[in-house]
A and B are shown apart, each in its own frame.
Chain A
Amino acid sequence: MSLHLEIVTPEKKIFSDTVGNVYLPGANGEMGILEGHAALVSALEPGELSYEKDGSTFLLAVGSGFAEITQERVSILTDMALGEEEIDEHSAEAAMKRAEEQLAGMSHDHDAEEMAHLQASIAKATAQLNLKRRTRH
């Protein structure tokens, strides 16, 4: 079992370590990556990424981006990656509310990219909140 997981954002390298299986939110649904996976480049959706290490499972909330997968390595390129303890529930909630309000105030013929961006922010905030709430209970 040696799969190297690497998570980088433009601002810094979040994580780099050898882990067990990795589960990530791909463009076509959740993907489980085991050692020896075929080389793959996949779009990443905002959601939860989990990896196994030393018998326990760790969760991270990730934003949109890309995953590059080779036989022995998983590299994640994303704009956000937060562990449970780093998530601030209030700011995530506030961000979601803000994005929702903006989205509601938009007419349908509005800039598609802006809309997609807002939806992505909502998805990102949702991913953070889900993770936070589930781990608490």
Chain B
Amino acid sequence: MANLRDIRRRIKSVKNTAQITRAMQLVAAAKMKKAQDQAVAGRDYADLLNKVLVNLKENADEESHPLLEQREEGKELVLVISTDKGLCGPLNTNLGKAVRSDISADADIVTVGRKLRTQLTKLGRDLVADFEVKDPVPFAEARPIAKLLTQLFLDGKYSKVSVAFNNFVSTLNQEPTVVQLLPITSDKLGEKRSYEGMGNDVKVEETDHAAALSKDYLFEPSSQGVLESLLPLYINFQVYQMLVESRASEHSARMVAMKAATDNANKFIKELTLEYNKLRQAAITAELLEITTAMKAME
């Protein structure tokens, strides 16, 4: 049977924990809002980029650009976007599972985020590079990552570059997703991808292929020239979008996890307080009894 002082101490420590988790919850909520806004802001850009790509699609066959080239031989390279910090629920565990199940065992990795880097290197994967990305994600930081991936692909060592990240579906639901980044398949160009535009709340219109194609665009300097400068931009933007998406997932998962922790702590405090009061009452009763007995004895 715990004594009064022990319970009091316990309550105090749980209260402290609740305070910390509550603070973390609030911070994550604020950051989540920002990350979501950021992803929504990128939507206009994505729409416009898609529209131009749809128009270029006809010129984009396999031979026209090295980034479109399909190759048979060579390993797979995967960019794994995880979080730097823990305490965000099952986010990294799930992503790790997806990586293990969807990606061949000999694939090399490039990582963003400390959590899965440690895990995957322990599993014996070859780490090619590791990047740190600030919060909120600046577009400029997507560029070196995209550049490295493109370079490694063009060098011919890898036949395929994929990205594993947490797709933000809603605040309560984040889905580990693996998508192919390179080579760009021309039939996928301009297509709306599920991870573009956050969640389900606002539906993004799929770029209207027919309407867009009906306009005969002129290209300056040439369609080839435009395609050549557009594709790297497209890769940059894809990487950026996935980074933002992962960040939004991270903050929402953390917020939900911290909210659950705070709720649990509060419940625990309630239970402990109840027990504490019971014990206190018992002690008072016992004391009263003692006093009355003593008084009776003195009479």
Question: CB within 8 Å of B: which residues of A?
Answer: 6, 8-13, 26-28, 38-43, 65-66, 68, 70, 75, 77, 79, 113
Complex contacts, B220 vs chain A, CB 8 Å: 26-28, 40-43
**A90 CA to B226 CA, complexed, in Å:** 33
- Whether B217 contacts A39 by the Cβ 8 Å rule is yes
Decide: A11 near B41, CB < 8 A? Known: A41-B226, A43-B226, A43-B229: yes
The answer to the question of B38 belonging to the interface, with a C-beta cut-off of 8 Å to chain A, is yes
The answer to the question of B131 belonging to the interface, with a C-beta cut-off of 8 Å to chain A, is no
- Whether A77 contacts B48 by the Cβ 8 Å rule is yes
Q: Which of B44, B55, B218, B219 contacts A13 (CB 8 A)?
A: B44
Q: How large is the interface on B (under 10, 10 to 19, 20 to 34, 35 or more residues)?
A: 20 to 34
Complex contacts, A28 vs chain B, CB 8 Å: 220-221
Decide: A39 near B218, CB < 8 A? Known: A27-B225, A66-B226: yes
Closest B residue to A75 by CB, please name it. Answer: B48
Closest A residue to B55 by CB, please name it. Answer: A41
Complex contacts, B42 vs chain A, CB 8 Å: 10-11
Interface of A (DSSP majority class): strand
**A61 CA to B17 CA, complexed, in Å:** 50
The answer to the question of B215 belonging to the interface, with a C-beta cut-off of 8 Å to chain A, is yes
CB B198 to nearest CB in A, in angstroms, measures: 15
A-B contact pairs, 22 of them (CB 8 A): A8-B44, A8-B48, A9-B139, A11-B42, A12-B41, A39-B217, A40-B217, A41-B55, A41-B56, A41-B226, A42-B221, A42-B226, A43-B225, A43-B226, A43-B229, A66-B52, A66-B230, A66-B233, A68-B51, A70-B215, A77-B48, A77-B52
Complex contacts, A75 vs chain B, CB 8 Å: 48
CB B17 to nearest CB in A, in angstroms, measures: 37
**A13 CA to B221 CA, complexed, in Å:** 26
Complex contacts, A79 vs chain B, CB 8 Å: 139
- Whether B218 contacts A38 by the Cβ 8 Å rule is yes
The answer to the question of B216 belonging to the interface, with a C-beta cut-off of 8 Å to chain A, is yes
Task: Report which residue of A10, A11, A39 has the largest number of chain B beta carbons within 10 angstroms of its beta carbon.
Answer: A10
The answer to the question of B272 belonging to the interface, with a C-beta cut-off of 8 Å to chain A, is no
